[in-house]
């Protein structure tokens, strides 16, 4: 950071274009993040007009001020591009369908994209549905799903890890928790892809059409499921959402309820898939690490926490300033886009010693920001941790070795927000 004549620090301007990041940088953006972090707690990306918050303490500070730093556009510039492209494609739809699609694509304006006081109301109504005890109550089912999935994988053959395990297990667990028949698991996957399709990447017209149709189908399905639970609640998460109430809040509207489901499917399944993928890659690449985990299952939780810290499935979230703001010495005008770079905070030397290394003994291992922080902190973190733990535990318990097959490119999705392996081929013995 450069000191100015008045003693304050000047804003560092960087020329990096996010959409131009190549595969190598997307696979491992951490060196670039380190360079930004070294230049200051906030750097400015001139091309996209984005203020990037790079340091752990500064990101937590921003997350404590959700009114000044609004979540109206948490997915950043790509969603603005997607919104334009979607609006154009919607002109091809009949009027009524286009109007409905607008509601659907806004995900009921709940949680993720809401600010206080609405966001506070949403969390008060929905927190209980995913609290630790709710997840504990389906722990044995999660374990069974993971056990059966690992048992069903062919041994001594090249397997597509995402297809065999990392994609179906989180979806199946989420469907179980929601109380939806597992026959819909394939639909869930398609819907989750449709909900996430626009994040941090560009889309072709045909693809947009498909995602609009998939999302509308998702919406109709969940609307019917919620309405049936409103009439006759059962013991499942959908019923908890359908009947959520508090002493002080107005009940959720139908579109808020379905919007929340859309966020659970969009934010829940795919992110856990990515975590399991990176954890398995790390084990398959390092035999001694794998043996250590095999011999000490109690290290699996700290290991998964370190993978979360080092390879966050969500690299960062965006905020928009609702008034002129200041971060340290840096002035940020009203209406600016601010990128909270969780993937950078997780390797901040001031918080984590030897931040690039896996360390099972790290005392502050859970201080990473891969689940965010403050009022928008991930509502599904308990579930994600439990599912990842079950999958890794079963994978190690039921095999002698998880081996990475040779000659695969290990490339990641083309997105600077969502971080995950496109594919992973392994052999189980
Ligand atoms: C490894 C898995 C996961 C990761 C890395 C992850 C990451 C995140 C992050 C970073 C946020 C904060 C967003 C912000 O700062 O604006 C968030 C919020 C959220 N997550 Fe997760 N998540 C995961 C799993 C899940 C699961 C399993 C669910 C649901 C079943 C879920 C549902 C949500 C929802 C609904 C929000 C919005 C909360 C709010 O705005 O109040 N996530 N997640």
**Residue 307 in tokens:** 């993978």
Least confident residue range of 153-167, 259-273, 301-315: 259-273
In terms of average pLDDT, the best of 22-26, 140-144, 177-181 is 140-144
**In this structure, which residue's CA is closest to atom 6 in ligand 1?**
371
User: Does residue 200 surpass a pLDDT of 60?
Assistant: no
Mutation to probe ligand 1, out of 264, 317, 380, 386 (largest number of atoms < 8 A from CB) = 380
Superfamily of domain 12-428: Cytochrome P450 (1.10.630.10)
Mutate which of 120, 378, 381, 389 for ligand 1 pocket (most atoms within 8 A of beta carbon)? 378
Q: What is the mean pLDDT of residues 327-350?
A: 96
Instruction: Please say if the pLDDT value at position 79 is more than 80.
Output: no
Around ligand 1, the residues with Cβ closer than 6 Å are: 71, 74, 111-112, 123, 174, 263-264, 267-268, 271-272, 275, 312-314, 317, 342, 370-372, 376, 378-380, 383-384
- Return the pLDDT at 96: 73
Q: What angle do CA 312, 315, 319 make, to 5 degrees?
A: 140
Q: What is the pLDDT of residue 88?
A: 79
pTM of the model: 0.94
Ligand 1: centre distance to CA 377 (Å): 7
Minimal-distance CA residue to ligand 1 atom 17:
378
Average pLDDT, the chain: 90
Q: What is the pLDDT of residue 144?
A: 97
């Amino acid at each position: 950071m450069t000191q100015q004549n008045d003693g304050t620090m000047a804003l560092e301007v960087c020329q990096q274009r996010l959409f131009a990041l190549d595969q190598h940088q997307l696979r491992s953006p951490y060196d670039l993040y380190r360079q930004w972090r070294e230049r200051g707690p906030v750097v400015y990306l001139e091309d996209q007009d984005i203020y990037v918050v790079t340091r752990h303490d500064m990101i937590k500070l921003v997350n404590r001020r959700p009114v000044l730093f609004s979540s109206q556009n948490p997915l950043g510039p790509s969603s603005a591009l997607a919104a334009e492209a979607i609006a154009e494609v919607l002109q091809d739809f009949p009027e009524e369908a286009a109007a409905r699609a607008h509601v659907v694509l806004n995900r009921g304006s709940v949680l993720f994209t809401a600010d206080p006081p609405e966001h506070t109301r949403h969390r008060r109504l929905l927190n209980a549905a995913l609290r630790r005890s709710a997840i504990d109550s389906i722990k044995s089912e999660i374990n069974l799903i993971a056990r059966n999935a690992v048992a069903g994988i062919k041994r001594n053959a090249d397997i597509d890890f995402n297809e065999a395990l990392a994609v179906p297990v989180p979806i199946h667990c989420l469907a179980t928790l929601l109380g939806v028949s597992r026959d819909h698991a394939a639909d869930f996957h398609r819907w989750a892809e449709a909900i996430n399709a626009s994040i941090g990447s560009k889309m072709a017209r045909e693809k947009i059409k498909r995602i609009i149709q998939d999302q509308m189908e998702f919406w109709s399905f969940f609307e019917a499921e919620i309405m049936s639970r409103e009439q006759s609640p059962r013991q499942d998460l959908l019923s908890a959402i359908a009947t959520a109430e508090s002493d002080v809040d107005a009940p959720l509207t139908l579109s808020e309820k379905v919007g929340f489901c859309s966020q659970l499917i969009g934010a829940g399944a795919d992110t856990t898939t990515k975590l399991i993928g990176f954890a398995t890659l790390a084990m398959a690449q390092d035999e001694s690490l794998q043996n250590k985990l095999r011999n000490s299952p109690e290290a699996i939780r700290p290991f998964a926490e370190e993978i979360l810290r080092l390879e966050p499935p969500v690299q960062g979230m965006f905020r928009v300033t609702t008034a002129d703001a200041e971060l340290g010495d840096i002035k940020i005008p009203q209406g600016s886009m601010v990128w909270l770079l969780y993937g950078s905070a997780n390797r901040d030397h001031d918080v984590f010693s030897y931040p690039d290394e896996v360390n099972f003994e790290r005392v502050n291992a859970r201080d990473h920001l891969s689940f965010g922080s403050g009022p928008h902190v991930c509502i599904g973190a308990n579930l994600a941790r439990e599912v990842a733990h079950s999958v890794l535990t079963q994978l190690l318990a039921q095999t002698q070795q998880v081996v990475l097959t040779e000659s695969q490119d290990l490339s990641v999705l083309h997105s600077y927000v969502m971080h995950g392996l496109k594919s992973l081929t392994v052999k189980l013995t």
